[in-house]
Amino acid sequence: MKIGLEIHIQLPTRTKMFCSCPSTGSGGPNSRICPGCMGMPGTIPVLNKEAVLIGIKIAKLLNCTVPDIIWFNRKIYFYPDLCHHYQITQYETPIAGKGVYYLGKKPIRITEAHLEEDPGIVTRSGDGSLTDYNRSGMPLIEIVTEPDIATPAEAREFLTALLRDIRHVIDLPDDGERTIRADCNISMTGSERCEVKNVNGLKNVEAALTFEAVRQTKVIKAGGKISRETRHFDAERKVTTSARKKETVGDYAYVCESNLGRIDVRKLTEGVVHKESPKNMAARLEKEYGISGKVSEQMVNTSVKLAELYEYLAKKADAASALKCVTGPISSYWKALESSADEKKEPLADIVVQFMNDRINDVECSIMIRSLITGENIERTAALSEDLDALIKRAIADNPSVVDDYKKSEKAANRIIGFVMKETAGAYPSADIVEATKRILDRM
Ligand SMILES: [Zn+2]
Which of 271, 294, 313 finishes a domain? 271
Q: Report residue 143 CA to chain centroid gap.
A: 14
The rounded Å distance from CA 19 to ligand 1 centre is: 5
Same domain, 194 and 314: no
Give the mean pLDDT of 144-153: 97
Quote the CA–CA distance of 80 and 159 in Å, as a whole number: 31
**How many Cα atoms are found within 13 Å in the side-chain-facing hemisphere of 379?**
0
Sign of CA dihedral 120, 123, 129, 131: negative
Mean pLDDT of the chain: 92
Among the ranges given (178-182, 202-206, 341-345, 428-432), the one the predictor scored with the smallest mean pLDDT: 428-432
Residue 135's pLDDT is: 94
Same domain, 179 and 250: yes
Which amino acid type is present at position 182?
A: A
Give φ, ψ of 283 to 5 degrees: -65, -40
**Of residues 56, 90, 103, the one with CA closest to residue 282:** 103
Question: Where is mean pLDDT largest: 80-89, 124-133, 210-219, 369-378?
Answer: 210-219
The rounded Å distance from CA 72 to ligand 1 centre is: 18
Residue 104 has pLDDT above 90, yes or no: no
The rounded Å distance from CA 132 to ligand 1 centre is: 13
The rounded Å distance from CA 13 to ligand 1 centre is: 14
Residue 442's pLDDT is: 87
The rounded Å distance from CA 52 to ligand 1 centre is: 18
Which of 271, 303, 335 finishes a domain? 271
Residue 249 has pLDDT above 70, yes or no: no
Give the mean pLDDT of 376-392: 89
- Helical pair 49-61 and 152-170, crossing angle rounded to 10 deg: 130
- Reported confidence tier of residue 397, pLDDT bands at 50, 70, 90: very high
The rounded Å distance from CA 45 to ligand 1 centre is: 9
The rounded Å distance from CA 10 to ligand 1 centre is: 16
The rounded Å distance from CA 355 to ligand 1 centre is: 59
145 compared with 434, residue with greater pLDDT: 145
The rounded Å distance from CA 75 to ligand 1 centre is: 19
- Reported confidence tier of residue 80, pLDDT bands at 50, 70, 90: confident
Same domain, 222 and 321: no
Residue 246 has pLDDT above 70, yes or no: no
Same domain, 135 and 74: yes
- Reported confidence tier of residue 247, pLDDT bands at 50, 70, 90: low
Same domain, 242 and 285: no
Residue 251 has pLDDT above 80, yes or no: no
- Reported confidence tier of residue 172, pLDDT bands at 50, 70, 90: very high
Same domain, 232 and 365: no
Count how many domains the chain has.
2
Alpha-carbon distances of 260 from 54, 90, 94, 165, 328, rounded to whole Å: 18, 12, 15, 31, 55
Percentage of the residues of the chain whose pLDDT score is greater than 70: 99
8 A C-beta contact, residue 226 and residue 219: yes
Give the mean pLDDT of 363-369: 91
Residue 206 has pLDDT above 70, yes or no: yes
Q: Report residue 249 CA to chain centroid gap.
A: 30
The rounded Å distance from CA 29 to ligand 1 centre is: 13
Which of 271, 291, 308 finishes a domain? 271
User: How big, in percent rounded to 5, are the helix, strand and coil portions of the chain?
Assistant: 45, 20, 35
- Reported confidence tier of residue 250, pLDDT bands at 50, 70, 90: low
Count, in order, helices (H) and strands (E) of the chain.
Answer: 16, 15
The rounded Å distance from CA 96 to ligand 1 centre is: 26
Same domain, 124 and 146: yes
The rounded Å distance from CA 36 to ligand 1 centre is: 5
Percentage of the residues of the chain whose pLDDT score is greater than 90: 76
Same domain, 179 and 53: yes
pLDDT in tens, 184-195: 999 998 888 999
Same domain, 266 and 344: no
Same domain, 424 and 295: yes
pLDDT in tens, 272-301: 988 999 999 999 999 999 999 999 999 999
Same domain, 266 and 346: no
Same domain, 120 and 246: yes
- Reported confidence tier of residue 425, pLDDT bands at 50, 70, 90: confident
Give the mean pLDDT of 407-427: 90
Residue 248's pLDDT is: 64
Give the mean pLDDT of 212-224: 93
List the domain range (segments joined by +) for residue 299: 278-443
Quote the CA–CA distance of 117 and 10 in Å, as a whole number: 9
The rounded Å distance from CA 127 to ligand 1 centre is: 28
Quote the CA–CA distance of 41 and 103 in Å, as a whole number: 47
